């Protein structure tokens, strides 16, 4: 297409900004800068901005040397001043969208970022929302705010949605090689967003609207949440039937078609799977429809930490020990293997429930040196150094997160009682091991 923005993209004359420098925004800013664009990263967290300015990466997978080289080349800068938006041709909004305690969407960060973009919106600018949200947010929330400036979408400025697909800790897929879905308010919006992201990302998948792009993201993670809920319930069924669920899954996965392998676990964690389906469920409630699969999966997955605690109690009983006063060592509190992110981690609920039942809880996680329970400052635990003595001191060792650094033979050898929620002890036949 022949458009001034398209020509700027082709010649790398375009200047872009990324609002939000977390696990999505910083990698995106780096990816754009590596593609030859001049990028300004903006965040309200002054400490985060200062670290980035010094070339200190706080995101796994981004090396300090990478940040420093891009900063020195003049292609990457950081600020907390939204006035920088006056000088850019494109803006990507990558702010967090958590759930409130009532499980309703919290889009306050999107609203705040939109107000800043609105205040600095100028003719010819492209705005792309990346934050996961409910279908209709781009068209019903962001668009009216931007058009209140008197500028017309598709003519004076351009607006699209392109969902983030970051998978922390994934060594195979990053921002650059993960396909990018984009959907604009108008066809021109889609084409310009496609051109911008296509200049930095290997594959861009255009769709017909922003709402389709918003829904696609929610489908991806709802699919995972529902299937994890299914296999978690299968694990419970297998226990009642005295069948090894892990062997059942291995057998089913031998089928080369029509089956996708999902594994049971202690519950859902992370920034996406436990959260995103609720955005869709909430939206449908406003239309007088109940998203039954989502609600049921959330019920099953949300109950898994309590199921694990019951397993711990039963395992201790077999050792003639009660949970009250027992020392329980939790191995791994991050929500997934080899990352330090504890957002929505099932370990938090497991530990809180154990403490409520008067167990003495210790934990080890090299990725999470300190763990705050409840409100900030309410209670903080600290990771205990891994050792044979630590394993021997515990009445029960619970494997919650299967970090690759764990020495499974040592755990099996030294622990008196093991509850394994990740099947790390597969191949070890010992009566003291209890698996999901």
Kindly state the average pLDDT of the residues 91-96. 97
Last residue of a domain, one of 208, 240, 264: 208
| Domain assignment present for 220 | no
| Domain assignment present for 325 | yes
The full length of the chain comes to 436
pLDDT in tens, 290-316: 999 999 999 999 999 999 999 999 999
Residue 203 shares a structural domain with residue 242? no
Query: How many domains does the structure of the chain reveal?
Result: 2
Residue 332 shares a structural domain with residue 402? yes
Residue 158 shares a structural domain with residue 274? no
Pairing type for strands 15-19 and 90-93 reads: parallel
| Domain assignment present for 215 | no
Residue 135 shares a structural domain with residue 190? yes
Residue 84 is classified by DSSP as G
- Token pair recorded at residue 123: 């003719």
Residue 196 shares a structural domain with residue 58? yes
Residue 79, CA distances (Å) to 40, 41, 48, 312, 426 in order: 7, 6, 10, 48, 49
Residue 175 shares a structural domain with residue 285? no
C-alpha span between 46 and 28 (Å, rounded): 19
Residue 104 shares a structural domain with residue 146? yes
For the chain, what percent of residues have pLDDT higher than 90?
92
What is the chain's mean pLDDT, rounded?
95
**Which of 25, 278, 272, 38 has its CA nearest to residue 128?**
25
Q: Using the predicted structure, report yes or no on whether residue 194 has a pLDDT greater than 90.
A: yes
**Which of 404, 347, 424 has its CA nearest to residue 415?**
424
| Domain assignment present for 22 | yes
Residue 195 shares a structural domain with residue 275? no
- Residue appearing with tokens 């300015």: 53
Domain range enclosing 14 = 4-208
C-alpha span between 262 and 227 (Å, rounded): 7
Using DSSP's 3-state secondary structure scheme, residue 177 falls into coil
Is there a contact between 37 and 15 (Cβ–Cβ < 8 Å)?
A: yes
Last residue of a domain, one of 154, 177, 208: 208
Task: Give residue 271's pLDDT band: very low, low, confident or very high (50, 70, 90).
Answer: confident
Catalytic residues: 272
pLDDT in tens, 109-139: 999 999 999 999 999 999 999 999 999 999 9
Position 377 scores a pLDDT of 61
C-alpha span between 263 and 268 (Å, rounded): 11
- Which residues are CB-neighbours of 198 under 8 A, at least 6 positions away? 204
| Domain assignment present for 222 | no
C-alpha span between 270 and 344 (Å, rounded): 5
- Token pair recorded at residue 81: 């001043």
Kindly state the average pLDDT of the residues 36-56. 97
- Apex CA 265: angle with CA 166 and CA 267, to 5°? 70
Q: Which helix (H) or strand (E) holds 321?
A: none
Residue 171 shares a structural domain with residue 235? no
C-alpha span between 70 and 345 (Å, rounded): 34
| Domain assignment present for 132 | yes
| Domain assignment present for 180 | yes
pLDDT in tens, 323-344: 999 999 999 999 999 999 999 9
Position 376 scores a pLDDT of 62
Q: Is the pTM of this model over 0.85?
A: yes
Residue 235 shares a structural domain with residue 369? yes
Position 65 scores a pLDDT of 96
Position 104 scores a pLDDT of 86
pLDDT in tens, 130-170: 999 999 999 999 999 999 999 999 999 999 999 999 888 88
Task: Give residue 38's pLDDT band: very low, low, confident or very high (50, 70, 90).
Answer: very high
Last residue of a domain, one of 176, 208, 240: 208
Residue 289 shares a structural domain with residue 399? yes
**Which of 57, 59, 44 has its CA nearest to residue 93?**
44
| Domain assignment present for 29 | yes
Residue 297 shares a structural domain with residue 339? yes
Burial (0-12, 13-18, 19+ Cβ within 10 Å), 251: exposed
Kindly state the average pLDDT of the residues 60-75. 95
CATH number at residue 252: 3.40.50.720
- Alpha helix (H) ranges present in 276-357? 276-285, 292-318, 346-356
């Amino acid at each position: 297409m022949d458009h001034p923005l398209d020509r700027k993209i082709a010649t790398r004359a375009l200047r872009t900004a990324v609002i939000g420098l977390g696990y999505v925004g910083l990698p995106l800013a780096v990816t754009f800068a590596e593609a030859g664009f001049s990028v300004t990263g903006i965040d309200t967290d002054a400490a985060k901005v200062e670290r980035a300015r010094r070339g200190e990466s706080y995101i796994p997978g981004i090396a300090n040397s990478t940040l420093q080289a891009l900063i020195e080349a003049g292609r990457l800068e950081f600020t907390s001043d939204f006035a920088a938006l006056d000088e850019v041709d494109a803006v990507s909004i990558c702010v967090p969208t958590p759930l409130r305690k009532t499980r309703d969407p919290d889009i306050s960060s999107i609203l705040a970022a939109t107000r800043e973009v609105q205040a600095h919106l100028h003719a010819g600018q492209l705005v792309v929302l990346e934050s996961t949200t409910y279908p209709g947010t781009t068209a019903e929330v962001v668009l009216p705010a931007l058009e209140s400036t008197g500028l017309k979408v598709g003519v004076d400025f351009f607006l699209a949605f392109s969902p983030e697909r970051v998978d922390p800790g994934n060594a195979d897929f990053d921002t650059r090689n993960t396909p990018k879905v984009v959907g604009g308010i108008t066809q021109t919006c889609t084409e310009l967003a496609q051109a911008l992201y296509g200049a930095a990302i290997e594959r861009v998948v255009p769709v017909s609207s922003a709402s389709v792009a918003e829904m696609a993201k929610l489908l991806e993670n709802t699919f995972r949440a529902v299937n994890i809920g299914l296999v978690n319930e299968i694990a419970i069924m297998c226990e009642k039937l005295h069948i090894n669920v892990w062997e059942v899954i291995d057998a089913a996965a031998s089928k080369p078609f029509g089956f996708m392998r999902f594994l049971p676990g202690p519950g859902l964690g992370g920034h996406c799977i436990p959260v995103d389906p609720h955005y869709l469920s909430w939206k449908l409630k406003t239309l007088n429809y109940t998203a039954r699969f989502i609600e049921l999966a959330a019920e099953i997955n949300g109950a898994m930490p309590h199921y694990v605690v019951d397993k711990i109690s039963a395992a201790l009983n077999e050792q003639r020990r009660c949970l009250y006063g027992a020392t329980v060592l939790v191995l791994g509190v991050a929500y997934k293997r080899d990352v330090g992110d504890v957002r929505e981690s099932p370990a938090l609920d497991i530990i809180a429930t154990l403490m409520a039942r008067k167990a003495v809880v210790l934990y080890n996680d090299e990725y999470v040196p300190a763990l705050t329970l409840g409100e900030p400052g309410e209670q903080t635990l600290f990771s205990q150094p891994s050792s044979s003595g630590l394993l021997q001191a515990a009445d029960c060792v619970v494997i919650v997160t299967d970090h690759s650094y764990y020495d499974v033979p040592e755990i099996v050898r030294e622990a008196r009682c093991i509850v394994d929620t990740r099947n790390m002890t597969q191949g070890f036949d010992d009566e003291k091991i209890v698996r999901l």
